[in-house]
Structure 1
C-alpha cells in the first residue's frame, strides 16, 4: 500500500508541474492594445498574384534598344481641370480613392517601395536609396501610432483617414522618356516615375512645396490598372483607369527639366519667364518634328495641284457644254424667228389690164 501511495503522489506532482509549464495562450491581434490593431483597416487593394506580376512584366516598355531617347520632367498641376481626375475625390468616397491616397495606403501596408527624392536632381532606384515610411510620416508631419511587430517583423502604423494629406498633394512630378526603337519601328512615350509634391502654408501665409519621394511607375501600375476614375464632368461613367490616364497621356504638364549633361533645370537655363515659355514650346515642337521625320509624308503640294487640275478640267468641260448648248439654242431660235416671219405674197397668173392715158 505504501508503494501505491508514493506512486499516486508522484503522478499528481508530475501533472501539476506539466500544467504550470505550459505556455500561456497568446492574445489575438484584436485584443492587443485595447483593440487598436483593428484600426489598421484593409484598403481592399489585394496583393499581386503571379499572373498580375507576369502581365506587368509583359506590358513593360523596354527602352534599352532605343536608338534615340529624350527624358523629360513635367510638373502636373492638379488645380487644372484636365488633371483633376488625379485629385478627386480628396477623401475616399464609395470605394473610390485618388492617386495619393492609393499610394499612401499601399506604402502603409508594405506593398509598395518608394525611393528618396534628392534635391541635387539625381535619382537612383536601388536598395541604398529606399525611403523609410516612418521618415515620410515624420517629414510630412503626419500623426500616427506605431505598433511594434513580433520579433523579426517590422512595426505597423495606425493612421486615421483624416490625417492622410491627400488634399495637400496638389501636384506631381512626372518623369517620362520619349524614345524611338529602330528594331521594332516604334516611337512612343514611357512614364518612368512619379513624385507627389506636398504643398503647405507656413504661419506667414507663404506657400512651400516639398517632393516626398520618387515612385517607379512600374511598381504602382499593377494596382492603378484596376482603379477606375471619372475623367469628365459631362460623362460620369468611370470608363478609364489611372493607368489609362497616364498611358493615353490625358494629363497636361509643363516641362521643368530635360536630362542634360550639366543637370540643370529649365529655370536655371532660361531665367526669364518669356524665354522659358519659348524654350518649352520649342521642345514640344522638336518632339513633333522628330516624329514626323521618321515616317513617309505624302507630297501635299502634288495632291493640291492634282485637285486644282481636276477642278480646272471640270470647269472647262462645263464651259464647253454650256457653249454648245447656247449655240444650239441660238440656231433653234433663228429657225423659229425665220418661221415666224410672214410669207411673201404670191404672184397672180391673171392678166392685168393696162390703162392708157388719153388726152
Structure 2
C-alpha cells in the first residue's frame, strides 16, 4: 500500500506540473500573438524609422545654390498622362488614388498640411492648418476617432464622404536648382495642392477651390508603397506614385513663376497666344540650361565646323543641280519649238501648187468655123 500511495503521489505531482506548464505555454503564446497584432497595426499606420530614412534627402545648402527657379504647374486630371492620379475613383483591395491617401494621412494626424496662400507658401507651424477646420470649410463629414485628444486630433472619415471625384486637378510647386556640387540642374517637387472643382446648386461652370499644401517629402514614404497603372497599354503595376513623380511622367502647364510682383502668367500676359509663347520660352530655358553651362572643347568645335561645311556643300550642290535642271528644261523647250517650226515648214513645201485660172475669156469653138 505504501508503494502504491507513493506512486500515486508522484503521478499526481507530475500531472499538476504538466498542467501548469501547458497553461504557461498557452498564456505566453497569447501574449506573443497579441503583441504581434499590435505591432502589425502600428506598422500599418506608422512608418518605422528605417522606412522614413530611406526617403530622407540631404538638401543643398544656400552656398551650393547659385541659381534657382520656382515653377508652379497645374496638373489636369482629364489628360491621359495624369489619369493615374485620379483612378480608381473608389478604393479597391490593393489600390487607392492619391487624394484618398493624403486625406487618410491627414485624418490620422500622420502628416501636416499648410495654408494655400496664393504664391506666398510658407511651410511653418504658424501656417499649419487644423484638419477639423479644413473638414468644416469644405463640408467633409467626419467623426472623432478612438484615442482623440487635443494634442493628438484624429478623425474617421467614411470612404463615401471623401470627395475624390471632385478633385480634378492639382497644383505642383517645383524648384529647379543648379547644384554647384554636381554642376547640374535638377528639378524637385516641393509641395502638392489638391484642387476641388465644385458647381453651384443651379449648375454652371465649376469653381476651383485649392484646399491645402502638403510637402512632398512628408507624403513620399507613404505614396511609394502604392503601385499604380501608369498606362492603358501595359497593365503591370510596375511603378508607384513616387516613381511617377520622380520620373516626371505627369503633364502640366506652367501657370506661374515666382516673381517680385507675385503675378500669375495670366495676369502678366492676358493674351492667350502671348501667354503660350511665354510658357514655351520658360520650358525651353529650363530644358536648355544644362547645355548652356558648358564651353565646347576644341574637338567639339572642329566637329561642328565640319558638319556646318558639309551642310553648306550639300545646299550648294542642290542649288547647282537645280540650275542645271532649269537650263536643261529651257534647252529642251527651245529645241522642241525649233523642231516643230521646221516640220511645219517642210509640210508646207510638200503641198502641190494649184494652177492659177486666167481671167481672160476662152475662145469659143463655134467661131473657128
Asked if TM exceeds 0.5, the reply is yes
User: Structure 1 residues 277, 160: closer, same or farther in 2, change over 3 A?
Assistant: same
Are 2:164 and 1:166 equivalent residues in the alignment?
Answer: yes
Whole-Å separation in 2 of the counterparts to 1:199 and 1:169: 6
Q: Taking structure 1 as reference, are residues 147 and 218 closer, same or farther at Cα in structure 2, changes over 3 Å only?
A: closer
**Which of 123, 126, 145 is residue 121 of structure 2 equivalent to?**
123
Using the size of structure 2 for normalisation, the TM-score is: 0.67
The answer for the alignment partner of 2:193 in structure 1 is 195
Q: How many residues align?
A: 268
C-alpha spacing 1:158/1:305, structure 2 compared with 1 (3 Å): closer
Could you say which residue in structure 2 is the equivalent of 1:322? none
Aligned counterparts, 1:246-285, within 5 A: 246-285=245-284
Q: Compute the displacement of 1:63 (Å).
A: 6.0
Offset of residue 43 of structure 1 = 11
- The answer (yes or no) to whether the contact 1:148–1:155 under 8 Å persists in 2 is no
Distance 1:188 1:230 in 2: 26
**How big is the shift at 1:50?**
1.3
Report what 2:154 is aligned to: 156
State the SS of the aligned residue for 1:70: strand
The secondary structure found in structure 1 opposite 2:260 is coil
In structure 2, distance between residues paired with 1:73 and 1:294: 24
Q: Which residue of 1 aligns with 2:176?
A: 178
Q: Is the 8 A contact 1:72 1:255 kept in 2?
A: yes
2:155 counterpart SS class? strand
Higher mean Cα deviation, 287-296 or 205-214? 287-296
TM-aligned CA distance change 1:51 to 1:147, over 3 Å: closer
* Residue 149 of structure 1, CA deviation: 4.5
CA–CA separation in structure 1 for the residues paired with 2:219 and 2:271: 37
The structure-2 alpha-carbon separation of the partners of 1:276 and 1:150, relative to structure 1 and needing over 3 Å to count, comes to closer
Where structure 1 has 5 or more consecutive residues not aligned to the other structure, the ranges are 1-41, 312-359
Shift of 1:67: 1.1
Distance 1:151 1:284 in 2: 48
1:309-324 paired onto structure 2 within 5 Å:
none
Deviation string 1:72-109 (CA, Å, 9 cap, x unpaired) is: 00000011000011111111112100100000111111
Q: Distance in 2 between matches of 1:94 and 1:150?
A: 27
Q: Is the 8 A contact 2:195 2:208 kept in 1?
A: yes
Q: Deviations over 1:223-244 (max 9, x none)?
A: 1122111101010001111111
Contact 1:178 1:190 in 2 (8 A): yes
What do residues 256-299 of structure 1 show as CA deviations (whole Å, max 9, x unaligned)? 11011111111110111111111111111122232210135534
Task: Look up the match of 2:55.
Answer: 56
4+ residue segments displaced more than 4 Å: 42-45, 147-153, 305-309
Check if 1:302 corresponds to 2:310. Answer: no
Matches within 5 A, 1:1-359: 45-57=44-56, 59-62=57-60, 64=62, 65-119=64-118, 121-147=119-145, 149=147, 154-206=152-204, 207-296=206-295, 298-299=300-301, 301-304=304-307
Is this contact kept in 2: 1:45–1:223, CA < 8 A?
no
* Structure 2: tracts of 5 or more residues without a match: 1-40, 315-369
